[in-house]
Chains A and B, each alone.
Chain A
Amino acid sequence: MKEINTSAITDAVAQACISACYDLPPDIEKALERGMADEESPTGRDVLGQIIENARIASEESVPICQDTGFAVVFIRLGQDAHIVGGSLTDAINEGVRRGYSEGYLRKSIVAHPLERVNTGDNTPAVIHTEIKPGDEFRIMIAPKGGGSENMSGVRMLKPSDGVEGVKKFVVDLVKSAGSNPCPPIIVGVGIGGTMEMAAIMAKRAVIREVGRPSEKPYDAALEQELLRLVNDTGVGPAGLGGRVTALAVNVESYPAHIASLPVAVNIQCHAARHKEIVL
């Protein structure tokens, strides 16, 4: 049986936190360049130019793209034939976050209790989602999530009779009312179906899917295109100052639903769409 040592996991998490915060993924950079070509508003182009230049500076100087280096959201895909040795997996991940945020000069943005609000000082704990898969591979995705865009997200338990029009209205209204707050151009992750928490996790998975890769489900892929058009018709534009490019992508994930339910979750991701995957 393949063994994975927790010390290797800690090292990988620390490194991934730092590089995710310094280097914008290539798919996002490409999408911003395309947005620059599509944007009609001079102000919008000026903003996109600043965002592209900012990513270049961050990468060259090894500094964070955004001062909000986020909540460390961690997606694990653990092969059921792999064995983790050397201690607790959760502790290993949190130790990696602690080290990465300290050594990388990243901001510590987590308070220990949501109402008492005292900073934990090391950006722990992480938010960890685990999936068990066949095989013996251990995949870990670090997606630091900023507060500004997360705050504009939402979940709604629609009625089945609300149908696809209800879904479109919920998504578009949310983007419109968020306006400049979530740092557009955004990526919109939509989770449809399952239960309330399942929809929310799907929405989060949707925002870290590569921009430009449509859903493998034809219905969802068509809905992604339609939603992108509708979202960009809001006119919110880069930085919310008005323009054509409000979103770089809308990604939809779906799951079977109860006969009584139509859950919809929308996770909003700012243009600093940071994520880094490591395979052990």
Chain B
Amino acid sequence: MSRFAHSARVTLVHWRLGAQYEVQYRMNFVLQVVESAVRLATGIIAIQLVFGFTTRLGGWSEPELYTVLGVHVLLGGLLSTFVLPNMFSFMYEVREGDLDFALIRPVDSQMFISTRQIGFWSLVDVVVGIVVLGWAFADLADTIGPVDLLLFALGLICGALILYSVWMAFTTTSFWLIDTDEMATIITGLYDAGRWPIRIYPLWLQGALTAVVPLGVAITVPAEALTDRLTPGAMITLLVVTVASIAAARAYWLYGVKNYSGASA
């Protein structure tokens, strides 16, 4: 079996076990629905308030902004389901000296620490994101062609990979900084900034959300594909940023593991 196939198999086993564990707690599903509904409602209210006083925000109409909201919720759901539980486990293990147990496994260490857990009920946010996108799609259907849908799907995959890479790089910092809660606040804040199209921000903030912590471009570019404003330059930027993010996160992880001396008793 190839190394990739082996890794994929281990990942699927982890996800299946994680899902089986979480579905035991069915009440968590109800609570997750309430949380998702509250977050969605506040997002919609914010947009409705804006469009109570104007018809366009930086050139974006109300249905177009719902595509940004939909992508934001959808990618946030993927992040909470597949990425965050693993990242927080990893940070805890570095602090407690338990990481050695993960590093000695006969699989790729980055893949292993990235896929051990799944926040199964957070898939509710993925569904909510799809519903919001469907709602926006109904208003924009006339302007969306098959190519746009393909570019949107590609953009969404790139966005998810960027989100993972940013969190992976940030989490790797735990090798050197034990208390990373403050940095998590910044990343969460920057992700929330992506709830609005980054093109409305001043150039310095657009640059930061594209090149430094590329969370804004991860959300806006897929939404641009659905709203007939995606330029080849933006798509190429997204692809370059995606490849660069994955490569940087991988290099940083390998550097971190190489310099990690272990902390277990």
Binding between chains A and B: no
Interface residues of B (CB under 8 A from A): none
